């Protein structure tokens, strides 16, 4: 697909991946609709792009999610690609996770994107085609310790994506799922355990298998993958061969538990050895 002039919506556009994706699609000549709750950062990002329409949107609000697509159509007359990148990440022990934590994650990671997708499908059917790209997480298969709301909601999001792929099998609308694996960014999750760094689950000294599968990728690498996926749609893409292999090995309890339990031990050691709020 030639992306010149294509209308591309990116949610979570002010995060590291969102900003990298915006710049990558801008270089390809796409017309961008950038959505995030942080409007000041959106304007700053758009200032360095050729053609970008910014909208303050909380993807946890289904009404705002639908309006995002409607306003994009009002602005540009169509929607060619909808990229669901926004995500809510809440860190806590599974035994302490609350209903509100789960609902927050499900609103941002599932019900908001579903609402936006349904609105986009109406337009894409009218215009004769389009593409949905859902950024998922292979972590739900691994069972990422301390990330239960995120993992549960991403599992549901993956189920939604694959159900949609089946139902749209004969349409000119393609639905793609992208698994990025561990991406190194400066963003912080919402933690119930005090301030935690992004590498909360990692350790310099850990078994080879765990270190191998948790090697981080960059937002720029993800952005290139998304552009490539938009140009050549396919049902499932990974950020690398290790992520693909890790997803496969997650179906084997021995490997899954070896990796996940190592991450849990890393986190517990940091919780025990660091003063509150300093992780």
The span from the CA of 211 to the CA of 236, in Å, is 24
Six-digit token string for 197: 């760094």
Other C-beta atoms closer than 10 Å to the C-beta of 37 total 16
C-alpha pair distances (Å), 40 with each of 37, 44, 47, 189, 233: 9, 6, 11, 20, 32
Residue pair 178/134 in contact by the 8 Å Cβ criterion = yes
Per-residue DSSP letters for 226-270? HHHHHHS--SEEESSHHHHHHHHHTTSHHHHHHHHHHHHHHHHHH
Q: Look at the alpha carbons of 216, 218, 222, 228 in this order and tell me if their dihedral is positive or negative.
A: negative
Across the chain, how many H-helices and E-strands are there? 11, 9
CB 12 within 8 A of CB 56: no
Two tokens at 155? 């599992």
Which are the catalytic amino acids? 150
Burial degree of 224 (CB within 10 A; 0-12, 13-18, 19+): middle
């Amino acid at each position: 697909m030639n992306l010149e002039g294509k209308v591309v919506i990116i949610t979570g556009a002010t995060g590291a991946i969102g900003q990298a994706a915006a710049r990558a699609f801008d270089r390809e000549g796409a017309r961008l609709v950038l959505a995030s709750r942080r409007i000041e950062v959106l304007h700053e990002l758009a200032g360095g792009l050729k053609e970008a329409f910014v909208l303050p949107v909380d993807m946890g609000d289904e009404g705002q999610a639908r309006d995002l697509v409607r306003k994009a159509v009002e602005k540009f007359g169509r929607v060619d690609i909808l990229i669901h990148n926004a995500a809510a990440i809440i860190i806590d022990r599974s035994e302490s996770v609350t209903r509100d934590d789960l609902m927050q994650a499900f609103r941002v990671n599932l019900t908001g994107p579903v609402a936006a997708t349904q609105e986009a499908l109406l337009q894409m059917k009218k215009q004769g085609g389009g593409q949905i790209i859902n950024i998922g997480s292979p972590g739900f298969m691994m069972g990422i310790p301390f990330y239960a709301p995120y993992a549960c909601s991403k599992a549901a999001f993956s189920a939604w994506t694959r159900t949609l792929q089946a139902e749209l099998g004969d349409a000119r609308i393609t639905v793609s799922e992208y698994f990025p694996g561990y991406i190194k960014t400066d963003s912080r999750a919402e933690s119930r355990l005090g301030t935690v760094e992004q590498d909360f689950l990692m350790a310099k000294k850990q078994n080879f298998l765990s270190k191998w599968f948790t090697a981080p990728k960059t937002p720029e690498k993800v952005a290139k993958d998304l552009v490539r996926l938009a140009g050549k749609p396919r049902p499932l893409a990974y950020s690398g061969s290790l992520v693909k292999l890790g997803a496969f090995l997650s179906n084997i309890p021995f490997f899954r538990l070896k990796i996940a339990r190592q991450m849990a031990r890393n986190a517990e050691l940091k919780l025990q050895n660091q003063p509150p709020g300093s992780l």
